[in-house]
Amino acid sequence: MVTVEHESPIQIVRDHPEVLAQLLRTAFDIEVPDDLVVRTVSEDFTQITPAAYRADNVVEIRERGCSKPKISVVAETQRAVDRRKCRSWPVYLTALHARSGCPSYLLVFCPARRVADWAREPVVIGHPGFTLTPLVIGPGTGPLVTSTAQAAQMPELTIVASLTNVSPHTEESLEITHAALATIENTGHENATLYTDMVLGVLPQAARKVLEELVTTGTADYKFKSDFALRNQAIGKIEGKIEGKIEGKIEGEAEAVLTVLAGRGLSVSDEARRRILACEDQDVLTGWLLRVAVVEFAEELFDEVP
């Protein structure tokens, strides 16, 4: 089942396919033309491959003024070891190469260290010299962005690096991620809030608190300018009140869920209100509290999270 965690890096690629060219250059020293026209061709690509062999995303990179692609890239997110990929990944590349007639690359996003190490293993087809070694973005790739200034110049690449755990989530790396998120948010990108929520959603609890504080207060050079930071600040105050309650007071979390829903202007039916207030499962309430800032309607809280 497709999850938010699976889709997050691919969402960045769909919105900004140029990030694949940046990744090829930065992470793997692959020469990519400077004057680029980059387009997603996933829909076209899937029409020439069986349903069982369909990649998450396919991008063509062309030099401006040229009708033929210079480079083609298959982008995949892999969250678990799956030996079947040793059969499907070669199919992706050979089918894409047959279609495009240009150098083709497989880029795999692996947020988990064990999965990243597995994905980097060569896929041996059997034919002499026919071995595929995927290009993996994840733990062990090495730092891709090392300063807030670089993050502001390549914000999408910085967010992908954060989503895939390329670097440990230290205070310095979180400041770099914050600079990228603030840059995108302040340019008015339609998915800016989504990107921030995606990053916050995959971070460990301690790192999430650090980034939430940065989103709320900003730094000397990078601040959120819209009401997103105000929303986050309000949620932070509510969470602070909850943390100050006596342990086991689960009704405080239920009330906080309703408070955030009301603060966001979302209507809450009587049935939904009763269900929230009647819940006595601490884990369920905590999950609702983490999701309440991003749902589009109150009932969405009750949907099963894959």
60, 63, 203 from 32: Cα distances, Å? 12, 9, 32
Most confident among 22-36, 115-129, 230-244 (mean pLDDT)? 115-129
- Which 8-state DSSP code applies to residue 64? T
Contact residues for 288 (Cβ-Cβ < 8 A; gap 6+) = 253, 257, 276, 279, 301
Give the pLDDT mean for 158-164: 96
Q: What pLDDT shows up at residue 191? A: 87
User: Whole-model pTM?
Assistant: 0.71
Q: What pLDDT shows up at residue 101? A: 92
Q: What pLDDT shows up at residue 128? A: 93
Q: What pLDDT shows up at residue 3? A: 56
Q: What pLDDT shows up at residue 154? A: 96
Assign 1 a pLDDT band (cuts: 50, 70, 90).
Answer: very low
Least confident window among 23-27, 55-59, 240-244: 240-244
Buried residues in 211-225 as b, exposed as e (16+ CB within 10 A) = bbebbbebeeebbbe
pLDDT at 152 over 70: yes
Helix, strand, coil tally for the chain in percent (to 5): 55, 10, 35
Which tokens belong to 137?
């973005």
Which tokens belong to 1?
């089942």
Q: What pLDDT shows up at residue 306? A: 47
Q: What pLDDT shows up at residue 237? A: 46
